[in-house]
Structure 1
Amino acid sequence: MILRTASPQDLPAIIALLTDEDGVTDPADVRVDEAYARAFADVDADARNEMLVLDGGDGTVVGYLQLTYIPGLGRGGAERALIEGVRVRADRRGAGLGRELLARAVERARARGCTLVQLTSDKRRTEAHRFYASLGFARSHDGFKLAL
C-alpha cells in the first residue's frame, strides 16, 4: 500500500468513501460539483492540512483521511494533529488497512513535532470507536457541534 497526498483526480473516490460508508460506490458514478472542487482546492492549499489516501498500488483509493495541524497555547505551545474523515473501502476492511492508515498519520504528526493526536467520530459509528480504542485512542472528552 502506498500512502500519498490526495490529488484532484482522487476526489471522486474520496467522495465515494465519505458518502457511502457501508457500500462500494464506483468513483465513475460520483459527480464532483463546484463545492467539492472548491473545498478540495482550499484544503490542498492550506499548509496545515493534508488529505491522505491509501493507494492499492494501482491508483485505486482504498482509504482516506484528513490530517490537520493545530497550533495552540495549551500543552506548552505544542502543535496537535486532528484526524477526520477516516474511511476504508467497505470491501477492503478487516485486512489491517485502517490500522496502517492511522499508524502512518500518527507518525507524520509525530515527525512534525505534534504532542497529541485527536480524532472525532460520529457517535453512531460504534465499530469505528472500538477500532480507535484498539489503537490506543482514549475517550477523553465530549464534543459539541453547532450546525450553522
Structure 2
Amino acid sequence: MIFRTATREDLPAVLALLADAGGERAEVSEAHERAFAAIEEDARNEMLVLCEPGAGGAVVGCLQLTYIPGLGQGGRERALVEAVRIRPDRRGDGLGAELMRRAVERARGRGCGLVQLTSDKRRGDAHRFYERLGFARSHEGFKLSLAVR
C-alpha cells in the first residue's frame, strides 16, 4: 500500500469515504474545495491517504492529522486524528491498522508528545479497533454544533 499526502485529485474519493460513514455529501462542493485548499496550505494539517499500489492506485483509506501546539506535554505538539475511513470492501484487511500505524509514526517523527482522537459513542467496533492499537479511553468528549439550520 502507498501512504501519501492527499492531492486535489483525491478529493472525490476522500469525500466518498466520508459519505459512506453517513451524514456527509459525496459531491465536491465549493466549500470542500476551500477546506481542502486550507488543509494543503496549513503546515499543521495533513490529509493523508492509503492507496493501492501502481499508477492511478485507488484510494482505500484516509485520515486527517492536525498538529496542535500547546504548553502541556513539555511544550510538544499533540497530533489530532480525524476522519479515519477505510473503504467498506477493504475493511478487515488490516488497512486501518496500517493507516493508523503510519499516522502515529508521522506524529512521532514530528516530535509530538501525544496522539489523540475522538470516536462516536455508537461505534463500538471502532473503539475496540483503537484499543487494540494501544489507544486508551482517557477522557469524555463534548461537542457543540454551530451548524446553521
Pairwise same-fold verdict (TM > 0.5): yes
Instruction: Give the letter for the 2:21 counterpart.
Output: E
Quote the residue 1:31 is aligned against: 27
Quote the residue 1:60 is aligned against: 58
Structure 1 residue 31: Cα displacement = 2.1
Structure 1 residue 124: Cα displacement = 1.5
Identity over the aligned pairs, expressed in percent? 70
**Aligned positions, number:** 141
Structure 1 residue 103: Cα displacement = 0.2
Quote the residue 1:2 is aligned against: 2
Q: Give the whole-Å Cα distance in 2 for the aligned partners of 1:121 and 1:19.
A: 16
Quote the residue 2:144 is aligned against: 146
Unpaired runs of 5+ residues, structure 1, are 23-29
Pair 1:15-2:15 in alignment: yes
Write the deviation string for residues 41-80 of structure 1: whole angstroms up to 9, x where unpaired: 1111110001000011142000000001010001211111
CA contact (8 A) 1:21 1:90 kept: no
Quote the residue 2:47 is aligned against: 51
Structure 1 residue 21: Cα displacement = 2.5
Q: Give the whole-Å Cα distance in 1 for the aligned partners of 2:73 and 2:105.
A: 19
Instruction: Give the letter for the 1:54 counterpart.
Output: L
RMSD of aligned Cα (Å): 1.1
Write the deviation string for residues 28-48 of structure 1: whole angstroms up to 9, x where unpaired: xx4211011111111111100
Instruction: Give the letter for the 1:12 counterpart.
Output: P
**TM-score, scaled relative to structure 2:** 0.92
List structure 1 runs of 4+ shifted beyond 6 angstroms: none
CA contact (8 A) 1:49 1:68 kept: yes
Structure 1 residue 147: Cα displacement = 0.7
Residue correspondence of structure 1 range 83-102 to structure 2 within 5 A:
83-102=81-100
**TM-score, scaled relative to structure 1:** 0.92
Greater relative CO (CA pairs within 8 A, separation 6+): 1
Unpaired runs of 5+ residues, structure 2, are none
